[in-house]
Structures are given as structure tokens and as C-alpha cells.
Amino acid sequence: MKVIVISKRMWIGILTVLLLLGIGLVIYFSMQGSEKEPTAPTMAAIDSYELNAIPAMSRLVPVYRVSRDDKTIALTVDAAWNADKTQFILDTLDQYGIKATFFLCGVWVKAYPEMVKEIAARGHEIGNHSMTHPHMNRISSEEIKKELSTLDDEIESLTGKRSNLFRAPFGEYNDTAVSTVRDMGYEVVQWNIDTVDWKEGRTAETILNAVLPKLTPGSIILSHNNGFEIETYLPKLIEYAQKEGYRFVTISELLPAGERTIDNNGLCKPAG
């Protein structure tokens, strides 16, 4: 019988081959297994999800836009400082046969009571913008109630009517603010198109170029009663929208009648 003698060098070679083979098998089977495991969604996939399909992101959200089949939109005007351009806005709205929704702040109401009466007399809708313009996400439910009720007492004394719409100062809110305001009987309304006309240095052309391409049925436009360039851009905005077949209405007219739902993107639509 012939005896095969394996040298130390040969043993090292054999062990090296076996080691490499083992590593290869481990990699192979791990890859096979990974194909059966679900992979985490990419950012692109997450972006394609409906936000209201992700439970972790569930929250109370105001109305940002309304689902409409017709070309109906709403112009809203926040009033919290000065009033020298408000008469121009009212006259322009009359000129084009438009009714808007004015969200008034309490300090403005106290400073310009006759202008509040004029807004109501012209047939425009008045919404509540808080008494003192606080950060609503930093105050208690009781403080929120006081902010709204105190202002509506003022509005009612001037116009004979209380409001049922609310816009949060600075656009800031949390679940406590939204739930408290809705429990009081108000709808919370934000916007999906912002003129950013409060920012000095923006030209009328810049504002129009930012706003007009975004117009869609159910849009809510935010402007300010003393916004920079509003005397230039407002007539052009209205003319363009009307030429494109859009009709301006108040927020109450824009909202669906009866029960409604609001998804996590702030899109409001009829319930059911």
C-alpha cells in the first residue's frame, strides 16, 4: 500500500481552499435569504405614499385646500397691522365683483372699528385671527378659548355677527389648538397659495410669477391687507384668474356643505 505524505505546505493550501469555499457558501446563502426579506422603502417610495396612509404621521390638520370639480377659489386677507391699503382692496374687490374672507386680528379690530364695519357692509366674510396674535401652539386650551371668544365679542358688537372660521397666527398650530378651536364651532383654515406679500423687497411680478402657476380648483390664497405691492399685484391676479375661468368665493362657500373630511395634506372634501 502506497502511503501519501502531506506536507505542512500542502495542509496550509488545503485549509486555505476550504476556508475560501466556506466563505463563498456563506455569502451565497446570505444573498439568497436577503432576496426573500422585505427591503426598507426608498425615499422616492416614501414620497409617493399618501401621508394619511402612514399612521405615525396622523395628526389634526386645518383646511389648506378644498376638493372641487369646478374652478372655484377663495381669496383671503389677513389684517393685523395698519389699514391704509384696505380701502383700495375693498374697492378693487367691488370692481371685479368678488367677495373675499378677511381674517381679522383683535388689535386691528380695536384700532379700525369703522373699517371692520365697512368690510361687513360690503358683503365680505370675516374670520377670527385671534385677539392678540399669539403663538397658538404655545398656549393652553383655556387661553385659546379666550383669544377667540374675546375677539368675536368685539366683532359681534361691530357687525352683529360672530365668525365661524379661524386662522392661526404665524400659521402655527398643534393638536390642542385645532381640537380646541373646532370644539368651539370654528373651522380652522390655512392656505395652499401664499403671496408672501408681507415681505419687503418682493416685486409684484415676483408675487404673480409665484402665485398664478399654482392656481387650481379649491385653492385658498393668502394675502395681507397692508401687503407690499398689493395695489399692483391684486388687480392683475384677479384678472388673470377670471380670464382662466376661475370664480372667487368666500371660504364658507368654498367648503363642502354638511359633513366633511380633511386628510393629512389638508385637503378638505365631502364625507363619504
Q: Per residue in 110-144, pLDDT tens? A: 999 999 999 999 999 999 999 999 999 999 999 99
Query: Hey, which residues are catalytic here?
Result: 78, 224
Higher pLDDT, 6 or 193: 193
Mean pLDDT (whole number) for 251-260? 95
Query: Sorting pLDDT into bands at 50, 70 and 90, what band is 97?
Result: very high
Give 226-245 pLDDT, tens digit per residue. 999 999 999 999 999 999 99
| 136-143 contacts, C-beta under 8 A, 24 or more apart | 136/168, 136/169, 136/172, 136/173, 136/174, 136/177, 137/172, 137/173, 137/174, 137/176, 137/177, 140/176, 141/176, 141/180
Domain boundaries, the chain: 61-270
Q: What is the 3-state secondary structure (H, E, C) of 143-155?
A: HHHHHHHHHHHHH
CATH 3.20.20.370 fits 61-270, yes or no: yes
Compute the mean pLDDT over every residue in the chain, rounded to the nearest whole number: 85
Higher pLDDT, 153 or 59: 153
Separation between Cα atoms, residue 231 and residue 89, nearest integer Å: 8
Position 10 pLDDT exceeds 80 = no
φ and ψ of 227, to 5 deg: -65, 145
φ and ψ of 165, to 5 deg: -125, 145
Share of the chain above pLDDT 70, in %: 79
Give 13-68 pLDDT, tens digit per residue. 555 555 555 555 444 444 333 333 222 222 222 222 223 333 334 589 999 999 99
Q: Which pLDDT score is estimated for 271? A: 92
* Nearest alpha-carbon partner for 194 in 173, 167, 174: 167
Share of the chain above pLDDT 90, in %: 77
Give 73-82 pLDDT, tens digit per residue. 999 999 998 9
Q: Which pLDDT score is estimated for 176? A: 97
Q: Which pLDDT score is estimated for 24? A: 53
Separation between Cα atoms, residue 120 and residue 125, nearest integer Å: 7
